[in-house]
Structure 1
Amino acid sequence: MYKLVKPLLFSMDPEAAHHTVSGGLRSFCKLWGGKRLLRTAYGCEHPALRREVFGLTFRNPVGLAAGFDKNAEYVEEMAALGFGFIEIGTVTPRPQPGNERPRLFRLVDDRALINRMGFNNQGVDVAATRLRQLKNRENLVIGGNIGKNKLTPNEEAVSDYIQCFDALFDVVDYFVVNVSSPNTPGLRALQEKEPLTHILNTLQQRNRKGGVSRPILLKIAPDLTHDQLDDIIEIVRETGIAGVIATNTTIGREGLRSGERLTAEAGGVSGMPLAARATEVIRYLATQSGHAFPIIGVGGIHTPEDAAEKIAAGATLVQLYTGFIYEGPGLIKRICKKLVAG
């Protein structure tokens, strides 16, 4: 089915196509039997797919990466397509429009995207309200990806992360601290050891209050050096956070074939050009840390073999975004079947 509609979708502006697909999916799921039909077509249930990771039970290890459902609008719909977990966001304390359009570009020859969305979202309170109103979470794990507002100085960034953390605490199962997007000016400076340790330690202190805690993960850029990755390993150990998501989009442009007009666009590259580097980062973190913490692998997963490669490198779970757009929802089931087959 997706092969039939993909040419039409790819003839549209990428952001418009995203809203068309998401809105259409929501409408279909409102029909009697709509969700059940999607689960039958795209779901894959098997005991071998279950994962116990940082204290949570995942029905399968294939998740939707942050960025697709920024405002927690399509959680139930994405679950019906077979995802084992959904990560909403990135959300910020206050609503913000993000960068000017156009801000999302397809690099078809590279099976990639460039985005400079800029944390466009309706604010953390809107996302929290939607998650409270979910009728049936269906044993679905939901993550909350949190960031800072563009106008918040880096010296005050911790307050933005605290506000998002507090607002989502009761409605998500885990948190992801996003300091690695290339599309908010100065954000990646927060990956440096001192400010990052401060943010994570502050959240961990709040996390230990009231007898309940949530796993906190850190999403990192693929453009870090080995020395910086060593610092990440040390920071995870020092702060006691639950794990790492590797990786966000890259600012690199090496090897792209889609033409200078497109590849010169500012923003982060996702999709196939990121695959090898993301796997390299996963393998380095896993090896150098002695597999001391779970890693969620994301970046360039377009086939079941790509997902298996990330897991072989040291990832416990994987996430899709660009591959989901290029390959369609059937990719989730194909990956799950591959993992069951071994």
Structure 2
Amino acid sequence: MLSAVFPLVRPLLHALDAETAHAVTVGALAWLPVRRPPADDPRLGVTVISRDFPNPVGLAAGFDKGARAPDALLGLGFGFVEVGGVVPLPQPGNPRPRVFRLPEDGAVINRFGLNSEGLAVVRARLAARRGRQGIVGVNIGANKDSADRLADYVACTRGLAGLVDFITVNVSSPNTPGLRDLQGEAFLDDLLARVVAARDEVGRDPGRRTAVLLKIAPDLGLDGLDAMAATARRRGVDALVVSNTTVARPASLAGAAKGETGGLSGRPLFSPSTRLLAEAYLRVGTALPLIGVGGVDSAEAAWTKIRAGASLVQLYSALVYAGPGLVGEIKAGLLRRMEAEGISRVTDVVGRDAAELARAA
């Protein structure tokens, strides 16, 4: 139903400023009755981080920051949903306006600054859905004015482990001053050690241990990638998310808002994030699963991410322009591509062309 309605309401939503339109969308999803997700073709199933994903197409963090509608979003056909980012104490984020559409580029720039209702509110909402079906994770960060950012990540982990399938440690948002400094090897080593220990201390259900994921920036150099991958493996991280938004501005950008500060997402992020994804796969292989994010706006884009090494993919910005029907289109397109190539399971393609895509210009 929502897929059919979107072409009619899109002009109305895009007549609003981007943040208001987003709030209206999330509010509508939270209000609508939850429907059962459509059954997926078994060939799309993926088993990673000790979870059986019905399909590899997920919703990236940032869409449902407050965990208001994860079940409604699963009902759209996503194989998994990541809510957040969440920080311990409520914070308003940066002043508005702070999110900008670039329709000519299929892109979005945001400088939200980890606006969040806070850990207590999000924890209560996730606790209320305990026992429901569907894979849901949460993205965690640190308060802007925190005196101990490492402690913020530990607090979020202790509060949310056991309520979600995975926790994504976000040290790569460009919109919180100093946050990317936590990608440094010494800081990251300490951070991941403390987060994993906090997850293990909670230990609510050993049979459904909450996985710990690490999200990295697309602007990371290869030496930095080497260090982060090694640290993640040493500290028992379950998967890498590649990648967050970029502070780079390609010369090809045409949108009127291209000069706004913040993180750039959408189609222009596809190439750099996919190259970094492929480089990550060449370093970790199958030892550390990868989630490919950045510019996924079609089945072909998702297929390329998988060929580059992604076991799962995530999207967000493309929904602004294509609407919820995109999820089903991507899954159908993946199946058509598999049939054309005689591939029985989507997992058979993971990393197949990583070396080639790492060299792509």
Normalising TM by the smaller chain, what interval? over 0.9
TM-score scaled by structure 1? Answer: 0.92
- Using the TM superposition, name which of 238-247 and 198-207 deviates more: 198-207
Please, which runs of 5 or more residues in structure 1 have no aligned partner?
none
Cα separation, 2, equivalents of 1:291 and 1:248 = 21
* Cα distance between partner residues in 2 of 1:179 and 1:233: 14
Indicate how the Cα distance of structure 1 residues 210 and 218 shifts in structure 2: closer, same or farther if over 3 A, else same: closer
Q: What is residue 143 of structure 1 aligned with on the other side?
A: 137
Distance 2:253 2:277 in 1: 25
For 1:121-176, what per-residue CA distance to the aligned partner results, in whole angstroms no more than 9, with x for missing partners? 100111110111127622x11111110000014xx211100100011012111110
Could you list the per-position Cα deviations for residues 288-334 of structure 1 after superposition, in whole angstroms to 9, with x for gaps in the alignment?
22332100001001111000100010000011100122111111111
CA contact (8 A) 1:98 1:117 kept: yes
Query: For residues 310 and 76 of structure 1, what CA distance do their matches in structure 2 show?
Result: 26
Query: 1:214 is matched with which residue?
Result: 210
Residues 18-27 or 223-232, more deviating: 18-27
Shift of 1:6: 1.6
Contact 2:218 / 2:244 at 8 angstroms: preserved in 1? yes
Match of 1:239 among 235, 256, 259: 235
- Counterpart CA distance in 1 for 2:83 and 2:246 is 20
Provide the residue aligned with 1:127 in structure 2: 122
1:115-264 matches, cutoff 5 A: 115-134=110-129, 137-138=132-133, 140-153=134-147, 156-209=148-201, 212=206, 213-259=209-255, 262-264=257-259
Q: Does the CA-based 8 Å contact 2:158-2:202 persist in structure 1?
A: no
Residue pair 1:62, 1:336 contacting (<8 A) in 2 also? yes
Is structure 2 residue 28 aligned with structure 1 residue 24? yes
The aligned amino acid for 1:257 is L
- Provide TM-score, normalisation by structure 2: 0.88
Residue 57 of structure 2 corresponds to residue 53 of structure 1: no
Secondary structure, counterpart of 2:244 in structure 1: coil
Is 1:309 equivalent to 2:313 in the alignment?
no
Aligned residue in 2 for 1:71: 66
Contact 2:139/2:170 (CA < 8 Å) preserved in 1? yes
CA distance in 2, matches of 1:179, 1:3: 36
Shift of 1:238: 1.3
- Paired residue total: 329
Q: Which amino acid aligns with 2:184?
A: E
Q: Decide whether the 8 Å contact of 1:222 with 1:250 is kept in 2.
A: yes
Are the aligned partners of 2:89 and 2:118 in contact in 1 as well (CA < 8 Å)? yes
Mapped to 2, the partners of 1:148 and 1:267 lie a distance apart of 18
Distance of aligned partners of 1:52 and 1:134 in 2 relative to their CA distance in 1, 3 Å threshold: same
Residue pair 1:256, 1:263 contacting (<8 A) in 2 also = no
Give the equivalent residue in structure 2 for 1:13: 17
AA in 1 matched with 2:248:
G
What is the rounded CA distance, in whole Å, between the counterparts of 1:274 and 1:126 in structure 2?
32
Residue type of the alignment partner of 1:205: A
Segments of structure 2 that go 5 or more residues without pairing to the other structure are 339-361
C-alpha contact 2:26 2:64 (8 A) present in aligned 1? no
Distance 1:67 1:171 in 2: 19
Partners of 2:215 and 2:316 in 1: CA distance: 15
Contact 1:112 1:269 in 2 (8 A): yes
Q: Please tell me whether the aligned partners of residues 91 and 116 of structure 2 are also in contact (alpha carbons under 8 angstroms).
A: yes
TM superposition shift of 1:188: 0.4
User: Which residue in the other structure is 2:329 paired with?
Assistant: 334
1:44, 1:337 within 8 Å by CA — same for their partners in 2? no
AA at the equivalent of 1:12: L
Q: Distance in 2 between matches of 1:104 and 1:145?
A: 19
Between the aligned partners of 1:135 and 1:169, the Cα distance in structure 2 is 12
Contact 2:45 2:54 in 1 (8 A): yes
Distance 1:147 1:210, change over 3 A: closer
Structure 2 counterparts to residues 276-291 of structure 1, below 5 A: 276-291=271-286
Aligned partners of 2:161 and 2:202 also within 8 Å: no
The answer (yes or no) to whether the contact 2:130–2:163 under 8 Å persists in 1 is no
CA contact (8 A) 1:217 1:242 kept: yes
Q: Percent of aligned pairs with the same residue?
A: 43
Q: Residue in 1 aligned with 2:84?
A: 89
Counterpart amino acid of residue 258 in structure 2:
T
Distance 2:190 2:131 in 1: 36
Distance 2:274 2:168 in 1: 19
Name the CA distance, whole Å, in 1 between partners of 2:73 and 2:130: 14
